[in-house]
């Protein structure tokens, strides 16, 4: 295993920058996820690590080596492709053993090793079949087996689970997590599914339009999203974002907007600085931090009931504030929601995340690392 | 369901018409199968009486015609190998590389190819071949055919290769293969059905072609069957039907055999990508 480092890497296609001046370091044994919406440059970044794409500028290191211009075959890496890229004319045994074949291993040796890996992945009985004769889940595991069959410094994954149905995806996700704990592999995993990133990553790099917006452990991404973009992208459903006006009264912060009553938040240095630039702030509250309340509670959001969705153990209650902005709350099904027109939800002031006029999160005073 | 009288009439009429057209197309084929075995074959269809192999005996005795079959084989196989190999490599490069305007290249070549093997270019081709000093050689015929057929073959194959995901070779290279290894181990087997199509098409084209070998060759012992077949015409230019029929049957057999072999071995089926 080895570390991976991007140093000011830019990749442009014509005049368009798919990846703009990215720098980050993946430590040896870390499992990092590149998370972001479609077209933000995740695949391009991953392909540059693999050597399938050459950076327009900047440097890429694997371990101590500068690999920026090294051919993929010389990088000692593994990659699982989104379409699995199984060779249609080879049976599973030959598919899995192919990396050993190019390394000049004997037929017996490589088939023995392929069988070992296939057994771990529970496809040991299918080795004589062609890729077209197995299911999607089995194809996925075959491509994983091919990536695991030889020693490799870094494992790259490009949305390897996106072609699986929901149940198989959960199963495969659990297996990948187990594998990571077992092998301690260095992995870079591309996904646009925030739940997958949360579940697998030791750190997540959230990308937007070719840049990394935040690179932090999942819990930090979740609790302290650096920008409104990250807050919007992470969580299911994502964080409620409400434009508010911030006012200082009796040395404390009050937030005002239609259907929003938030009083007496501590006035931190950050908030003072933000208010200096303008009173327009954004209040972020996660759906799971909202609970049923009354309009008279300290911190409330209220409006007209819009939707009431039953999800099994929980419920998603969406209401519309007077200005039309919608807020979603996630509550346990046991908490009865009266189907009255007007609903009010309350939350703990400590769970309020504030963003300044530019969409950057305002840190509280004396915040400690998570 | 009952048909009205008019509908019934229309159906009968349609079926009769289809049958007549079918027979019209079948007639030459039937002649083609019967005539070689008939000692008194003429241009009309007649069931041989008695069946005889006498026509074949005479044809086998014609050294020029027999030598023609071998020459056809040499020129066809040579041309096919050249076309298939060059078209595969060129199409692969055109499909996978990022040369700007690469589709323009193919289209322009395609445009000129119809000129190269066409009648209009015969004089320049003749001049080029004779100035290179390849007049009256198999090589000349093979090269000219290859030049004429390559663009179309490239076009067919490029389309085919474009449909094959790049990730096949990419995954092979990440796994440690050199580009050449990735091409031979992974890409080529997947492209093979496309190459087979090109092989059959090129073979049929060269095998049946008359003009190019007729112009580029002098000596009798280099002429292919398409030219040698004229040895079954009398001095006055009238065909000796019996021998011509027998020779035609022999002449068509390699093509039929190639089709049968290919459809047995490959079934003209395509691998394509794996369904996700
Ligand atoms: N070969 C290419 N030529 C031109 N533009 C490209 C090329 N490859 C990628 N791009 C562009 O670069 C941007 C980033 O592409 P990339 O494939 O990295 O996105 P992604 O984050 O992986 O998205 P997705 O989630 O849809 O896979 C996109 O806007 C894409 O159109
Ligand atoms: Mg992608």
Same domain, A214 and A320: no
Task: Say which CATH number the domain at A344 has.
Answer: 2.40.50.140
Task: Give the CB-side neighbour count of residue A211, counting CA atoms within 13 A.
Answer: 6
Cα-to-centroid distance, A45 and ligand 2 (Å): 9
Give the start-end residues of each E strand in A227-352: 240-249, 252-257, 260-266, 280-285, 291-292, 300-310, 314-320, 326-332, 342-346
pLDDT for A202 equals 95
Atom of ligand 1 nearest to the CA of A47: 18
Residue nearest to atom 20 of ligand 1 (CA): A39
**pLDDT at B80 exceeding the cut of 90:** yes
Q: Assess if residue A100 is contained within a domain.
A: yes
Mutate to test the interface with B, among A46, A78, A102 (most CBs of B within 10 A): A102
> What mean pLDDT do residues B15-36 have?
91
Same domain, A90 and A174: yes
A161 with A124: CB under 8 angstroms? no
Same domain, A128 and A261: no
Q: Which residues of B touch A52 (CB under 8 A)?
A: 170, 173-174
> How far apart, in whole angstroms, are the C-alpha atoms of residue A312 and residue A133?
37
Same domain, A246 and A215: no
Structure-block tokens of residue A233? 């992208």
pLDDT for B273 equals 35
Left if phi > 0, otherwise alpha if psi is -120 to 50, otherwise beta: which for B43?
alpha
The last residue of one of the domains, among A197, A227, A257, is A227
Q: Which residues of B touch A163 (CB under 8 A)?
A: 276
pLDDT for A210 equals 95
Same domain, A329 and A287: yes
Closest ligand (CA of A35)? 1
Peptide bond between residue B50 and the one before it cis (omega within 30 degrees of 0): yes
Task: Say which CATH number the domain at A47 has.
Answer: 3.40.50.300
The residue extents of the domains of chain B are: 5-52, 62-266
If you count residue pairs, one on A and one on B, with CB atoms under 8 Å apart, how many are there? 80
Same domain, A210 and A256: no
Name the band, by pLDDT with cuts 50, 70 and 90, for residue B46: confident
Same domain, A307 and A191: no
Judge: A150–B173 Cβ closer than 8 Å, yes or no: no
> What mean pLDDT do residues A245-252 have?
88
Please state the length of chain B: 276
Q: Which of A9, A11, A43 to mutate to test the pocket of ligand 1 (most atoms within 8 A of CB)?
A: A43
B202 with B215: CB under 8 angstroms? no
Name the band, by pLDDT with cuts 50, 70 and 90, for residue B199: very high
pLDDT for B116 equals 63
Structure-block tokens of residue B140? 């000349």
Range of lowest pLDDT (A43-47, A189-193, A253-257): A253-257
Cα-based distances in Å from A20 to A98, B110, B238? 35, 41, 79
DSSP states of A124-155: GGGTTS-GGGS-HHHHHHHHHHHHHSS--SEE
Please give the residue of chain A at the shortest CA–CA distance from B170: A52
Residue nearest to atom 18 of ligand 1 (CA): A41
Judge: B173–A99 Cβ closer than 8 Å, yes or no: no
Cα-to-centroid distance, B17 and ligand 1 (Å): 58
Domain limits for position A268: 240-355
DSSP states of A3-67: -EEEEEEEEEETTEEEEEEEEEEEPTT-EEEEE-STTSSHHHHHHHHHTSS--SEEEEEETTEE-
**pLDDT at B274 exceeding the cut of 50:** no
Judge: A73–B170 Cβ closer than 8 Å, yes or no: no
Judge: B276–A75 Cβ closer than 8 Å, yes or no: no
pLDDT digits (tens, 9 = 90+) for B240-265: 888 889 999 999 999 999 988 888 88
Judge: B273–A88 Cβ closer than 8 Å, yes or no: yes
Q: Assess if residue A370 is contained within a domain.
A: no
Residue nearest to atom 8 of ligand 1 (CA): A44
Please give the residue of chain A at the shortest CA–CA distance from B190: A89
What sign has the CA pseudo-torsion B67, B68, B71, B77? Answer: negative
| ipTM of predicted assembly, 2 dp | 0.85
Instruction: Compute and round to an integer the Cα radius of gyration of chain B.
Output: 24
Give the DSSP H/E element, type plus range, for residue A158: strand A154-158
What sign has the CA pseudo-torsion A295, A297, A302, A306? Answer: negative
| B182-216 core/surface letters (b: 16 or more CB in 10 A; e: else) | bbebbbeebbbbbbbbbbbbbbbbbbebeebbebb
The last residue of one of the domains, among A170, A195, A227, is A227
Q: Which residues of B touch A73 (CB under 8 A)?
A: 173-178
Please give the residue of chain A at the shortest CA–CA distance from B275: A132
pLDDT digits (tens, 9 = 90+) for A269-306: 888 888 888 889 999 999 999 988 887 778 899 999 99
Same domain, A208 and A294: no
The residue to which tokens 């599914």 are assigned: A193
B230 with B238: CB under 8 angstroms? no
Give the start-end residues of each E strand in B7-133: none
Name the band, by pLDDT with cuts 50, 70 and 90, for residue A27: very high
pLDDT digits (tens, 9 = 90+) for A306-350: 988 888 888 899 999 988 899 999 988 666 666 667 888 999 988
Is B138 in a helix, a strand, or coil?
A: helix
In this structure, what DSSP letter does residue A101 have? Answer: H
Same domain, A253 and A176: no
Q: Assess if residue A367 is contained within a domain.
A: no
Sheet order of strands, A154-158 included: A77-80, A154-158, A187-191, A31-35, A203-208, A211-216
DSSP states of A213-230: EEEE-HHHHHHS-SBHHH
pLDDT for A264 equals 84
Close Cβ partners of A71 (under 8 Å, ≥ 6 residues apart): A51, B173, B178
* Burial of residue A301, with CB atoms counted within 10 A of its CB: 0-12 exposed, 13-18 middle, 19 or more buried: buried
Name the band, by pLDDT with cuts 50, 70 and 90, for residue B272: very low
Same domain, A201 and A261: no
How confident is the prediction for chain A on average, in pLDDT? 91
pLDDT for A335 equals 64
- Ligand 1 pocket (Cβ < 6 Å) reads A 13, 18, 36, 38-44, 192
pLDDT for A339 equals 64
Question: Domain B62-266 in CATH: superfamily?
Answer: MetI-like (1.10.3720.10)
Same domain, A245 and A210: no
Q: What residues of B are in the A interface, CB distance below 8 Å?
A: 165, 167-168, 170-178, 181, 185-186, 189-190, 271-276
Atom of ligand 1 nearest to the CA of A40: 21
> How far apart, in whole angstroms, are the C-alpha atoms of residue A129 and residue B19?
47
pLDDT for A356 equals 92
Residue nearest to atom 10 of ligand 1 (CA): A18
Same domain, A167 and A37: yes
Structure-block tokens of residue A158? 């490009």
pLDDT for B76 equals 96
* Domains held by chain A: number: 2
Range of lowest pLDDT (A24-33, B52-61, B112-121): B112-121
Instruction: Compute and round to an integer the Cα radius of gyration of chain A.
Output: 24
Q: Tell me which residue in B189, B271, B276 faces A163 most closely, judged by beta carbons.
A: B276
Closest ligand (CA of A157)? 2
Which of A71 and B104 is assigned the larger pLDDT? A71
Judge: B171–A79 Cβ closer than 8 Å, yes or no: yes
pLDDT digits (tens, 9 = 90+) for B93-141: 999 988 888 878 878 888 877 766 667 788 888 999 999 999 999 999 9
> What mean pLDDT do residues B145-152 have?
90
Please give the residue of chain B at the shortest CA–CA distance from A151: B175
A214 with A206: CB under 8 angstroms? yes
pLDDT digits (tens, 9 = 90+) for A130-141: 999 999 999 999
């Amino acid at each position: 295993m080895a570390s991976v480092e991007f140093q000011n890497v830019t990749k442009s296609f014509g005049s368009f920058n798919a990846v703009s001046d990215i720098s980050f370091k993946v430590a040896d044994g870390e499992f990092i996820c590149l998370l972001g919406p479609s077209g933000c440059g995740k695949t391009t970044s991953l392909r540059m690590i693999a050597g399938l794409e050459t950076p327009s500028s900047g440097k890429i290191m694997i371990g101590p080596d500068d690999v920026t211009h090294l051919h993929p075959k010389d990088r000692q890496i593994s990659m699982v492709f989104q379409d699995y890229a199984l060779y249609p004319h080879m049976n599973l045994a030959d598919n899995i053993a192919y990396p050993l074949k190019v390394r000049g291993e004997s037929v017996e040796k490589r088939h023995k090793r392929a069988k070992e890996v296939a057994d771990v992945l529970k496809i040991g009985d299918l080795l004589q079949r062609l890729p077209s004769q197995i299911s999607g889940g089995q194809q996925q595991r075959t491509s994983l087996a091919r990536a695991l069959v030889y020693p490799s410094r870094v494992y790259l994954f490009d949305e390897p689970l996106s072609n699986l149905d929901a149940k198989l995806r959960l199963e495969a996700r659990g297996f990948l997590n187990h594998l990571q704990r077992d092998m301690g592999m260095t992995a870079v995993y591309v996904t646009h599914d925030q739940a997958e990133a949360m579940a697998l990553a030791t750190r997540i790099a959230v990308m937007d339009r070719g840049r990394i917006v935040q690179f932090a452990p999942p819990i930090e991404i979740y609790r302290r999203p650096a920008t409104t973009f990250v807050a919007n992208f992470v969580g299911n459903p994502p964080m409620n974002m409400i434009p508010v006006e911030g006012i200082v009264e009796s040395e404390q912060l009050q937030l005002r907007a239609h259907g929003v009553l938030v009083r007496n938040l501590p006035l931190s240095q950050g908030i003072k600085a933000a208010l200096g630039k303008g009173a327009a702030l954004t209040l972020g509250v996660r759906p799971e931090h909202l609970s049923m309340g009354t309009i008279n509670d300290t911190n409330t959001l209220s409006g007209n009931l819009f939707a009431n969705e039953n999800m099994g153990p929980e419920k998603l209650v969406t209401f519309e504030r007077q200005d039309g902005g919608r807020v979603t709350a996630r509550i346990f099904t046991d908490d009865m929601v009266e189907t009255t027109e007007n609903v009010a939800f309350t939350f703990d002031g400590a769970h309020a995340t504030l963003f300044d006029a530019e969409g950057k999160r305002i840190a509280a005073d004396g915040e400690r690392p998570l | 369901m009952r048909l009205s009288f008019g509908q019934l009439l229309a159906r009968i009429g349609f079926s009769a018409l289809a049958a007549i057209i079918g027979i019209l197309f079948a007639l030459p084929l039937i002649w083609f199968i019967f005539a070689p075995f008939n000692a008194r074959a003429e241009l009309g269809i007649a069931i041989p009486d008695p069946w005889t192999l006498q026509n074949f005996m005479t044809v086998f005795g014609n050294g020029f015609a027999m030598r023609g079959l071998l020459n056809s084989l040499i020129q066809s196989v040579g041309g096919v190998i050249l076309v298939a190999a060059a078209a595969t490599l060129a199409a692969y490069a055109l499909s996978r590389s990022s040369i700007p305007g690469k589709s323009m290249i193919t289209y322009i070549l395609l445009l000129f190819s119809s000129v190269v093997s066409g009648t209009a270019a015969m004089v320049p081709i003749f001049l080029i071949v004779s100035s290179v000093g390849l007049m009256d050689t198999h090589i000349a015929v093979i090269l000219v055919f290859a030049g004429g057929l390559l663009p179309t073959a490239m076009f067919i194959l490029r389309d085919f290769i474009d449909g094959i995901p790049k990730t096949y070779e990419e995954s092979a290279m990440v796994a440690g293969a050199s580009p050449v290894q990735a091409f031979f181990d992974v890409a080529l087997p997947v492209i093979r059905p496309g190459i087979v199509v090109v092989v059959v098409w090129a073979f049929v084209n060269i095998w049946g072609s008359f003009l190019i070998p007729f112009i580029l060759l002098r000596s009798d012992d280099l002429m292919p069957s398409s030219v040698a077949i004229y040895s079954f015409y009398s001095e006055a230019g009238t065909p000796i039907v019996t021998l011509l029929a027998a020779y035609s049957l022999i002449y068509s057999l390699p093509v039929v055999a190639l089709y049968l072999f290919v459809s047995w071995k490959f079934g003209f089926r395509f691998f394509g990508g794996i369904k996700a």
